[in-house]
Amino acid sequence: MTQNAFGKYVKVALRWWWLWILGLIIPSAISYHMLQDQPELYQARATVMVGSSIIENVRPDIGMLRVSETLAGVYAQLATRPIVTEPVVERLGLQISPAALGAQISTRVRPDVQLLEIMVTDINPRAAAAIANAVADQLVQLSPETSERQMDREFGLAQLQDLRTKMEETERDIEAQQEALSRMTSAAEISEARERVEALNRVRSMYQSTYATLYYSVSREQAPNVLTVLEHASEPTQPLPQRTYMIAVMAGLAGLALCVLAVMMIEYLDDRLMWEGKGQEPVQGLRVFGAIPHVSRRRKGLLMLDHPDSREAEELRAIRANIQLALRNGSSSSKVLMFVSPGPHDGKSFIVANVAVSLALAGLRVNLIDGDLRKGELHAFFNLPRGEGLSDLVVTSDGDLSPFLRETHVPGLWLLSRGSQVSDPGSILASSRFAEMLDKLRKGCDIVLLDAPAVLAVSDAVLMTAVADHVLAIADAQLTSRRDLSRMKTLLAELGEGKLRGIIFNKVKLREHSYYYGYYAANRKV
């Protein structure tokens, strides 16, 4: 990225600083306020085991473990579906729809341990725990093991537990008889005690055989599709963390990102000519001669006389200096400087009048011509009547300029108004008499300023380009588009190739502080 490109990005960022602030603060404030008004939420969790092979078999089947993992995902999906939520709503008498209940339920599968976690979020902690347990119970009821097969497994497990208890009791009886036998002395008692020990050993052997057979029968039935509630949900005591500040910050960053995207689109689609400050690069190959700040309607006039210490007056002096430097290398006869603009409301006449005053105050003899034969109003800036002017001079005069060229109240500045209304201005401006008149005006002054009508409105300015020596464009920094400037350049190139010297911006928003202007206003002499 070049330094100039980086500078443009910085200027764009500074120009939209207020939008960055709004895009960051407003979403953050709104989200923070909304989160503050939200009730506290509680989450209860119940845990269900899918399958029983891990804890009930010494050597669990790996294939059965994989089936259990798949089934856990299936039950996780069912937990939020109406097949589960509808019975839960009816069982608990909830005043919400099954779909709304499903939105409160979330699940998480832990395939490495065959666990399915059911989380329920609610503003009531007791209700959250009750719903979580009801959902777990409903899933257990949906599994095939809730049928007669499950009852058989439970009966078999109960019988194994009973046999284990009887074997332990028999073992204790055998130990007691053997201890008593060691203390006996009578042959009859010893014989009787030995018979009881042998009987107990036979009973123990029977129990062991029955236990082994039953254990094998129960344990070989590995059930991957059995659900067991491993941990019931308890009533939560602490609400979920709302993360208000984090969400507010994320909302602000999202708003800022949207603002950046919007600005990028606006800047891309904005075709207006932009004033980028001092040292601006040429615009479409045209040198920037200066910029005039936006002037309110009540202040519009001859700023060099009415407000000599203003920022606008200082900018006019800068434009005057650039014009003198640009025309210094021209021939002595190249004195006609024409001002043009793409549209009729770019403030061209206002700038032309003030540039003329600025040149006159610098000691030059200036002839100012109002070339807009349709709506020209240059005479109004100098409080002069329109009277006879350019149209009368070209059409009816014998070539004598003195009756038409009027002296203004600015020393060294003469004005030739547009004159009487004519029906065909183009024929006058294209005539040889108009060119002859300009030659006479050249001889009697240091510079001739020609105010032309809007180029894109009528063809008059294009005709006048043929007799002008130099051309300056005026652009409205708020309205003039690059497309209009390009069209104007194309039209002027037909008769004035190479005459367009530069551009002057009007109605710009200058951001420089007033110190520079105030300092020079207090120490200069015009």
Q: Are residues 337 and 265 in the same domain?
A: no
Q: What is the pLDDT of residue 361?
A: 94
Picking from 100, 123, 143, the residue at the C-terminal end of a domain is 143
Check residue 414 and give its pLDDT. 95
**Region 185-200 average pLDDT:** 80
Residue 211 CB-density burial (10 A; 0-12 exposed, 13-18 middle, 19+ buried): middle
Q: Is the confidence at residue 515, as pLDDT, over 50?
A: no
The residue-averaged pLDDT of 361-367 equals 93
Percentage of the chain beyond pLDDT 70 is 84
Angstrom distances, CA of residue 474 to CA of 301, 313, 444: 17, 17, 27
- The more confidently predicted of residues 72 and 3 is 72
Same domain, 374 and 509: yes
Residues 330 and 455 in one domain: yes
Instruction: Please give the average per-residue pLDDT across 103-130, as a whole number.
Output: 88
The domain of 21 spans: 15-38+242-269
Q: Are residues 348 and 486 in the same domain?
A: yes
Q: Residue type at 329?
A: N
pLDDT at 305 over 70: yes
Structural domain contains residue 207: yes
CATH assignment of the domain containing 468: 3.40.50.300
Last residue of one domain, picked from the residues 143, 160, 178: 143
Residues 265 and 192 in one domain: no
The answer as to whether 275 is a domain residue is: no
Q: Write down which residue in 169, 191, 223 finishes a domain.
A: 223
pLDDT of residue 417: 93
Q: What is the 3-state secondary structure of 157-200?
A: HHHHHHHHHHHHHHHHHHHHHHHHHCCCCCHHHHHHHHHHHHHH
- The CATH number that applies at residue 124 is 3.30.310
Both structure tokens of 283: 């615009």
Please tell me whether residues 46 and 137 are part of one structural domain. yes
In a domain, residue 4? The reply is no
Most confident of 38-47, 263-272, 358-367: 358-367
Is the CB of residue 317 less than 8 Å from the CB of residue 358?
A: yes
106 with 240: CB under 8 angstroms? no
Q: What pLDDT does 62 receive? A: 55
Q: Is residue 508 part of a domain?
A: yes
CA–CA distances in Å: residue 323 to residues 256, 412, 494, 501: 44, 18, 24, 9
Helix (H) or strand (E) holding 234: none
436 shares a domain with 295: yes
Same domain for 389 and 371: yes
Contact between 300 and 506 (Cβ < 8 Å): no
User: Both tokens of residue 332?
Assistant: 């002595």
pLDDT for residue 50: 81
Q: How confident is the model at residue 225 (pLDDT cuts 50, 70, 90)?
A: low
Burial zone of 39 (CB within 10 Å; 0-12 exposed, 13-18 middle, 19+ buried): exposed
**What pLDDT sits at residue 333?**
63
* pLDDT over threshold 60, residue 384: yes
Rounded Cα–Cα distance for residues 507 and 17 (Å): 21
Look at residue 304 in the predicted model and tell me its pLDDT: 86
pLDDT value for 39: 80
Q: Are residues 69 and 214 in the same domain?
A: no
C-alpha distances out from residue 22 to 32, 260, 429, 430, 473, Å: 15, 12, 54, 56, 37
The pLDDT confidence band at residue 518, using thresholds 50, 70 and 90, is very low
182 inside domain: yes
pLDDT in tens, 416-460: 999 898 888 888 888 888 888 888 888 888 999 999 999 988 888
> So what's the pLDDT on residue 151?
63
Which span out of 143-157, 209-223, 407-421, 455-469 was modeled with the highest average pLDDT? 407-421
Look at 20 and 217; give whichever has higher pLDDT: 20
**15-19, 110-114, 367-371, 497-501: range with highest mean pLDDT:** 367-371
What number of CA atoms fall less than 13 Å from residue 332's CA on the CB side?
3
Q: Are residues 135 and 189 in the same domain?
A: no
Any domain includes 526: no
Range with lowest mean pLDDT among 100-104, 109-113, 186-190, 495-499: 495-499
Going by pLDDT thresholds of 50, 70 and 90, the confidence category of residue 521 is: very low
Task: State yes or no: pLDDT of 318 exceeds 50.
Answer: yes
Q: Is 3 within a domain?
A: no
Judge whether residue 150 has pLDDT over 70.
Answer: no
Tally of domains within the chain: 4
Q: Domain for residue 469, yes or no? A: yes
Could you tell me if 192 and 307 lie in one domain? Answer: no
Mean pLDDT computed over every residue of the chain: 82
The answer to whether the CB of 353 falls within 8 A of the CB of 302 is yes
So what's the pLDDT on residue 67? Answer: 65
**What is the structure's pLDDT at 524?**
47
User: What band does 378 get if pLDDT is binned at 50, 70 and 90?
Assistant: very high
Model pLDDT, residue 55? 52
Residue 466, helix vs strand vs coil: coil
Are 353 and 484 found together in one domain? yes
User: How confident is the model over 91-101, as a mean pLDDT?
Assistant: 91
